[in-house]
Amino acid sequence: MKTIRRTVNGNSRVARQVASDARGAAQGALCLPHASSMTVHHASPKTCSSLLVFLPLLLCLVGLVFLVSVSIGGILKPNMPPASPLEPFRPVIQQACWVLLGVGIMLTLSRIPLSFYQASAWLWLMLLSMVLIALWKVPGLGTERNGAVRWIEFSVPLLGRVGVQPSELFKLATLLYFAALYSQITPSRRTRRLPASTWLYGQNIPSSYRVAWGKGAYCIVALWLVALVAIERQPDFGTMVLVFALGVGVSFLGGASVFKIAALGLLAMLGFTAWVALPHLTGVDQHRTGYRLERIRAMLDPWAYEYDRGFQMVRAQIAVGSGGFARLALGEGREKRYLPAAENDYIFATIAEETGFVGCALCIGLFAWLVATLLSLASRAPTRFGRLFAGGLALWIGLQALINIGMAIGLLPTVGVPLPFISAGGSSMLSLMAALGIALAIARETR
């Protein structure tokens, strides 16, 4: 690992201590202040790099296989004959193009130094926040699909009209900014010395030290909160919750006060309760937001709303239950013919119906392996920014997969959160591949 040359607060002895502890950082954990004295076996940076390429590509291949299966189901849908034989396979062709483009972006970003991402993180968050606010406030800028205005569409040769979802890219901007923000820790006037292990791992920071939040940071975080409101108004509550959880999660990893995190969580719960109940109590904007409580009711008893809000949940649960323990019946699933959004939000239901419990376990195992690889990389990264980014990316992928799978098996209400690397969608694919490119840059700089 490279020797840390930066002098902390002008004290060369602290700098030498930081360099000494950095040699043992590879044996540490992300949030343990004295992990350098522990002996923990982790995958080497080279192994992490290989897995960070192999596992996402394997998940993309799984997604393409089941997108073909869903396309076959589209041909067999009753009373809905396709306009042409290739029309049902258009999502597969598009997704293959997105995967190839994503791999190119991933490999390109992996060659850029981490210092560039850390220095420019605020710019990406500001730009995407303004795009989301404009999408909310400027009529005609976005394209409406299924009652939601989440996409900006444009024409692409051979592919026709494609849409970009800025909120998906906003996840990456949030991860970058909060990792960069909590990488800057400064001492107070009363304290001159900070244990090197705390600088290395970022938790248990003494109260005399603080994150270097300037006026600019407060303004950017305020803009981020407004952008979250804009995402909710699209409406896209699932993505808003995921982005909020990502920001709070990286803040926790970065050493934010547990009391402040708990207070923020309580405030979020109260806000969620008001978000669900107020439209029904006041009658204001109920035509746009009244579906929230209905979806929660449908989750609790989907069969009571089988032909209304619970239709997707019922069809998904039938698909999951009919898969049994183990089977191999690719293309033979029946529920995908009736299940809306079978190619993105509910693709896990198709996986369950056509491969059974064993296939679902293998799919979940791939996600767990990828998350574990990112956590291993976080424990070895040479910089605080690298550790926070890798740990936050593990949180992003793991939490998004859990939300999507919970939706498919009926534990969560229907929200527009895709299954990472598997669901159809170019914006989600590109943002995840770009994040993995930065993770590969972290692995490349890890010695």
| Residue pLDDT, tens place only, 288-316 | 555 666 777 767 777 777 677 777 778 88
| Cα separation, 391 vs 377, whole angstroms | 8
Rounded to whole angstroms, what are the CA distances from 329 to 350, 351, 352?
A: 10, 10, 10
Rounded to whole angstroms, what are the CA distances from 7 to 28, 122, 172, 380, 438?
A: 22, 25, 31, 21, 26
pLDDT at 89: 78
Closest CA to 407 of 270, 310, 269, 288: 310
pLDDT at 283: 53
Place of tokens 């923000």: 181
Contact of 358 with 328, CB cutoff 8 Å: no
pLDDT at 235: 79
First to last CA, the chain: 4
Contact of 413 with 296, CB cutoff 8 Å: yes
| Cα separation, 267 vs 349, whole angstroms | 34
Contact of 22 with 382, CB cutoff 8 Å: yes
| Residue pLDDT, tens place only, 136-186 | 888 777 777 766 777 787 776 666 677 788 889 999 999 999 999 888 765
pLDDT at 345: 84
Q: Domain segments of the chain: what residues?
A: 32-119+241-445
pLDDT at 255: 78
Place of tokens 């968050």: 125
pLDDT at 101: 93
pLDDT at 83: 59
* pTM for the model: 0.79
Amino acid identity, residue 249?
G
pLDDT at 344: 84
Task: Give the sign of the dihedral formed by CA 374, CA 171, CA 252, CA 122.
Answer: positive
| CA angle 51–254–108, rounded 5-degree value | 40
Residues, the chain: 447
pLDDT at 362: 94
pLDDT-flagged residues of the chain (< 50): 1-41, 187-208, 286-287
